[in-house]
Structure 1
């Protein structure tokens, strides 16, 4: 049962990830990213790693995607379809993705072979919590500062976009700048 749930959630994650990179609307890509990250949380849930699944939903679906959507809104990114940006390199990108899929798939089959997926043993949430607050505190804090800087940068860029088109000097009717 665990293997079936994991496989279904994994398939949904892969399909949603493909839609994320192939859609022509950036807002739709962000919303499909929610589906992909939710399916990854489903993979964790299938493995009985509920704590990690909830952290996946809270941090990635709840925070990262919201940050991406805010950045899109604040920077006034175009939300209409942009076919000219993606069609030229699509065959090359598909070939690279196919080669990477084959390499990673072969590596996983060689490494794990016919092993069955085993659920996480009981008490794993306490171990994860201890590791997070003892070993990984600094990286989490650095990440939070990085996300804050990205949000502030998006706000600054959106405020500056109107000021860039204004001339710095006033030009008189003679064509010379006022000194």
Structure 2
């Protein structure tokens, strides 16, 4: 039940980030999205990724974006609004990428990878390495959330770079 609550909250707030023109509201909605994704990680017992999500994305990137928006929101007495874009083409391209990546992930036979087969033997002998097991889990069971988190970081950095640049009038 909690998973569905976090999933619906993440989807709705992410849709609001994309569809709103007010950058400050989009930033706060991104905060809700990132927190609900961290909640999903906790429900998946991926505590390391959940803490990383909170520390890196919410604690660092999002705070930087929100401060950048709030400090530059009133430039020459005009509020910062995003420009209208062709949402049909963006939705179509995003949908095609989602279908292609979903197909590739579902058809991939991750269990038969050679480096995963050799990782059954512990490299440290009788000592157990938590980092090794986290690395194996990140590249097998949690590869999709890990890649989604890296994609969110990339989008956050692109948004911060866009907000930080001044618009050049032609």
TM-score by length of 2: 0.55
Q: What is the aligned counterpart of 1:33 among 30, 33, 36? A: 30
- The alpha carbon displacement at 1:125 in A equals 9.9
Q: Could you tell me whether the CA contact under 8 Å between 2:24 and 2:70 is conserved in 1?
A: no
The one-character-per-residue Cα deviations of 1:20-58 (angstroms, maximum 9, x if unpaired) are 111111011101111111122122111212232122112
| Distance in structure 1 (CA, Å) of the matches to 2:129 and 2:69 | 35
Q: Could you tell me whether the CA contact under 8 Å between 1:13 and 1:35 is conserved in 2?
A: yes
- The alpha carbon displacement at 1:101 in A equals 1.9
Residue in structure 1 matched with residue 39 of structure 2 by the alignment = 42
Residue in structure 2 matched with residue 96 of structure 1 by the alignment = 93
For structure 1, which runs of at least 5 residues remain unmatched after alignment?
A: 113-123, 132-146, 159-179
Q: What is the aligned counterpart of 1:54 among 28, 51, 54? A: 51
Residue in structure 2 matched with residue 127 of structure 1 by the alignment = 131
Q: What is the aligned counterpart of 2:12 among 12, 15, 20? A: 15
Give the alignment's Cα RMSD to 1 decimal: 3.7
Segments of 4+ moved more than 3 angstroms: 4-12, 76-82
**2:107 is the alignment partner of 1:110:** yes
| Distance in structure 2 (CA, Å) of the matches to 1:107 and 1:8 | 28
The one-character-per-residue Cα deviations of 1:49-75 (angstroms, maximum 9, x if unpaired) are 223212211221122111101111223
Q: Could you tell me whether the CA contact under 8 Å between 1:17 and 1:36 is conserved in 2?
A: yes
Aligned length: 120
The one-character-per-residue Cα deviations of 1:105-140 (angstroms, maximum 9, x if unpaired) are 22233337xxxxxxxxxxx99528x98xxxxxxxxx
For structure 2, which runs of at least 5 residues remain unmatched after alignment?
A: 110-127, 136-156
| Distance in structure 2 (CA, Å) of the matches to 1:81 and 1:50 | 36
| Distance in structure 2 (CA, Å) of the matches to 1:6 and 1:93 | 28
Q: Could you tell me whether the CA contact under 8 Å between 1:51 and 1:125 is conserved in 2?
A: no
Q: Could you tell me whether the CA contact under 8 Å between 1:6 and 1:47 is conserved in 2?
A: no
